[in-house]
Amino acid sequence: MANKGKKVKVFVTGGTGFVGKEVMRQLVAAGHVPRALVREDSVNKLAVLENAEVHPGDVTDAASLAGALAGCDAVIHLVGIIREFPGRGVTFEKLHVEATRNMLAAAAEQGVTRFLHMSANGTRVQGTTGYHRTKWQAEELVRGSNLEWTILRPSLIFGPGSEFVRMLADMIRKLPVVPVLGDGKYRMQPVAVEQVAASFVKALGKSETIGATYQLGGGESYSYDEILDLTARAMGKGQVTKIHQPLFMIKPMVRLLQGFEQFPITEDQLKMLIEGNVCDPGEWAKAFGLTPLSYAAGIAGCFRPQS
C-alpha cells in the first residue's frame, strides 16, 4: 500500500546516476530516508546528503542484496544502461533483466512490497533494439511479481549534467559545422529530470499509481535539428550550421566501428535516434498533477551555474 503523507525509508538503485542523484536529492528534501545501493568503486560518485544511507553492493550480485532492504518501505529501481560493453560484462541482459530479477526477489524475500521501476519510452515486446527488448523483459518481470508496482517510462531525459545536453553543447562549442545523422527531422520530446525524479517521489504516496505504467515526456516535441538550435540559443549562440549525413553512408561505418568503445554510437543507438522518441504524457501529467516542461522552456537552466 502506498505511504500517503508518511515519511518512509526507500531503497534506491542507480543512485549515483544522472536521474538517481536527483531522486536522492528530492527524497531527502521531502523528508524521506534513501538508502543507496552503491558499488565500492562508485561510492565517490554519490552526492553527500544528510539523512541518506549507503549499502555496499551490486544489483547483478544477488548475494550482496541479502539483508540490504531491512527496514525499508519501498524500492526505487533506476539501474539501466544505454550501451553495452560485452568485453567488460556490461550487457542489457545483465543490467536490465538480471538486475531487475534480483531486486524483485530481494524485495519479496525481505518484505518490501512497494516497487517503483524506471523503464523507457519506446519499450515494447517487439522492439527493434536489444535495449528496448530487454527493457520490456524487465517490465514483464515487474508486472509478474506480487509487489505493488508502478512503472515509469521517460523519454529522453535532460537537465543540468545530462550527457545528451553535454554532447550537443560540446559539438556546438567546438565545431564550425555540426554533423547530423540523417535528415535531422526525427522527433524528440525530452523530459526534465526534475519532473522524472518528482514522479518517483510522489508515487510513494499515491496508491492510485499502483499497477499503472506511465509515459513521461516534455510539453512539446521537436526535430533533432530544432533541438540543436534550441541548445545553441540557450548557450547564447546563433542558429547552428549543420551538415546532414546520409544514412546509407553512416550505417556501414557504424556497423564496422561500433565494437570500439571510443566510437560514439552503435547500430542500436542509431536505430533509436532515427525512430524518434515521442509520447503522450497526458495520463502521467494528470496522475501526478504537473505540467510537463518543454525542452525550449527548460534548456536554459542547464547552462546556469549550479549552486
pLDDT of 5 over the 70 cut: no
Cα 286 to Cα 108, 192, 296, distances in angstroms: 30, 16, 22
pLDDT of 68 over the 90 cut: yes
Mean pLDDT across the chain: 94
**Residue 243 counted as domain residue:** no
**Residue 76 counted as domain residue:** yes
* pLDDT value for 45: 77
CATH number at residue 48: 3.40.50.720
Looking at per-residue pLDDT, the higher value among 144 and 304 belongs to 144
**Residue 232 counted as domain residue:** no
pLDDT of 257 over the 60 cut: yes
* pLDDT value for 240: 95
Interval 150-179 mean pLDDT: 96
pLDDT digits (tens, 9 = 90+) for 177-199: 999 999 999 999 999 999 999 99
pLDDT digits (tens, 9 = 90+) for 10-21: 999 999 999 999
Cα 289 to Cα 88, 220, 283, 296, 297, distances in angstroms: 42, 17, 10, 21, 19
pLDDT of 283 over the 90 cut: yes
pLDDT of 1 over the 70 cut: no
pLDDT of 307 over the 60 cut: no
Interval 263-273 mean pLDDT: 94
User: Is the Cβ–Cβ distance between 106 and 98 less than 8 Å?
Assistant: no
* pLDDT value for 14: 95
Would the pTM of this model clear 0.75, i.e. be above it? Answer: yes
* pLDDT value for 42: 78
**Residue 255 counted as domain residue:** no
Domain range for 72: 9-158+191-218+279-292
Interval 222-228 mean pLDDT: 98
User: Which three three-digit cell numbers place residue 83?
Assistant: 550501451
**Residue 73 counted as domain residue:** yes
**Non-local CB neighbours of 159 within 8 Å, separated by 6+ positions:** 18, 22, 165, 192, 193, 194, 298, 301, 302
Q: What's 285's DSSP letter?
A: H
pLDDT digits (tens, 9 = 90+) for 17-63: 999 999 999 999 999 999 999 988 777 777 777 889 999 999 999 99
pLDDT of 2 over the 70 cut: no
pLDDT digits (tens, 9 = 90+) for 69-115: 999 999 999 999 999 999 899 999 999 999 999 999 999 999 999 99
**Residue 143 counted as domain residue:** yes
State whether the Cα torsion 118-124-126-129 is positive or negative.
negative
Structural domain count of the chain: 1
**Residue 58 counted as domain residue:** yes
* pLDDT value for 51: 84
* pLDDT value for 304: 79
Q: Which long-range contacts (CB under 8 A, 24 or more apart) does 234-243 make?
A: 234/299, 234/300, 234/302, 234/303, 235/169, 235/172, 235/173, 235/303, 237/172, 240/172, 240/178, 241/176, 241/177, 241/178, 242/177, 242/178, 242/179, 242/180, 242/184, 243/177, 243/178, 243/179, 243/180
* pLDDT value for 137: 97
**Residue 88 counted as domain residue:** yes
